[in-house]
Amino acid sequence: MKKNFYQSIPKDLKWREDDIIIQSQFTKENDKVCHLLGFNNYIVYMKDLQQEPKKYIKLDFDIKFEILRENVVKKSDDDDSLGQIKGISIIKDLGNETIIQKKYFGGERLIKQWREFLSNRINQWQFHQMFRVYKKIGKGNFASVYLAQKIEDSKKMAIKAFSKQAAYAEENGKEAILNELKIMRQLNHSHIMQMYEVYETQNSLYVALELLEGGSLYDLIKEKTLLSTTQIQQIMVGVLQGLNHMHQKNIMHRDLKLENILFKQQRKMDSVVIADFGLATKVDEPVYLYYRCGTPGYVAPEVINIKDVKGHYSEVCDIFSLGLVFYLLLSGKQAFPGKSYGTVVKQNREATIDFKIKQLQQAPSQAMDLMRKMLEKDPNKRISASDCLKHPFLAEINNQMADDSANDSIDEGDEFGQVATRMNQLNEETIKFDAFRRNAIVNSPGSPGIIDTKQLKQQKIIDSLNQLQMNSPLLNGKIETFDSIPNIGTPKNKKCQNTFQQSPMIKPSQFKQTLPQQQQNQGNPLQKYSQQKN
């Protein structure tokens, strides 16, 4: 029985009323001309622009695409050069290793435009011929992260590879992966980890991610790095700018914590990015895929206390989670300092926070004011991300780090003299607070801004239990050995641990030699890993 590639256009598809994103003329394999009209989530096929179209295809997870290239004669076994782009193939996956496809040919510029359009919506078929894979930099139960370089433009990336069979075997496994990829395709901000493309083979998914070489906030705290107030402000502003971008798109993260706050560059706090969108969701989804989720010690009270499976909350749950991170950065103490999972969950549910601990007594008054507003128990009274960025404690740093004029940090009616006075007062308080913290290091291992290592290890154990939500394949079986690479789609299912297809052939790394010596000496995570594993 012949399988149809396109479907008949249904009467309720008002394609003339939708915005056309891309429209092009192609040549088919039989040399006949056709036209493709690309919309947000479907493509309309037309033989002639003067006639009414009859066929379309919906851009869902079963539709892939592949770039077609001219064949090239390989000069050696190591020659991985690519032929010139000549067309694009749209592929329909029917399951059971059965696919059907349609090939369309056109100029290179045209095909690249369609690649950009499609890669923001569907996965690209095949992977191995497109990348040079140099070494494994992270490993989970049956998922791995590789340092790789895209052959076409030599761009370095982190490739997260995992087994479709293993992930889909999890409860809600496929739905969770679809959700995360869909969320990440909607995000485009300098303070959010970028997902470039998603590749797919018969057995595996390969997620091409921004290579983050600066480690995580957890790494910094673990190393007992004392952050200055200015550095804390930079971290807070960067994360809030990323959250503001998400919240404007009606997306909430729901799992902000130290491990999910990463840096593009070492020791550069303004290079901070938000990572790991395994629990992110649209606020207005009819039913959340996971309704009570997150990590105890970082969860907003309205999330941890929700009882109705069909219940809802808003994006300000992320502000509470970031407020808990803020509390830790300023004081060096967890807001919920229980020594067991049950105690932390109980404290988290009650959301009673002690703002009068000695480590916060000399904190800038404006920092304390912002923290209280972020940790407001009532979500209806809690401050928003955009208002956090306008708060006097962060306004000046926000202006310095702003991507565009959307984040105005000072009200237009505010007189310059009042602003200057306020900033001078804040700077004086900051200088005193930093001096207080530096002096405290000599006398106390639990000094402000330096979280106790035992306490951090205890929180790590509590994190690993993560019993608020155990069903997500994107949350379980985290990648270990390399904290700097974000963890997308790491399923955990003991029955499937041996199903991961053989890793891509790993080539000798050229990056190991090209890193500056100074960067190597400063513990570059890639170099550090190479020294440990080679």
Q: How far apart are CA 190 and CA 194, in angstroms?
A: 8
By C-alpha distance, which of 85, 81, 62 is closest to 73?
A: 81
> Cα–Cα distance between 185 and 424 in angstroms, integer?
42
Amino acid at 100: I
Residue 192 · residue 245 · CB < 8 Å:
yes
Nearest residue to 159 (alpha-carbon basis) of 174, 173, 140, 144? 144
Q: Residue with structure tokens 């996956």?
A: 93
Decide: residue 498, CB within 10 A, 0-12 exposed, 13-18 middle, 19+ buried.
exposed
Amino acid in the structure at residue 516: P
Neighbours of 201 (CB within 10 A): 16
**Amino acid residing at 200:** E
Report the 10 Å Cβ neighbour count for 217: 25
Residues annotated in a binding site: 160
Structure tokens belonging to residue 164: 């479709």
Residues contributing to the annotated binding site for ATP: 160
Residue 193 DSSP symbol: P
**Residues in the chain, total:** 534
Distances (CA, A) of 509 to 137, 147, 199, 394, 506: 12, 9, 22, 41, 8
CA dist 408 and 421 (Å) reads 19
At residue 26, the 3 state secondary structure works out as: strand
User: How many other C-beta atoms are found inside a 10 Å radius of the C-beta of residue 137?
Assistant: 24
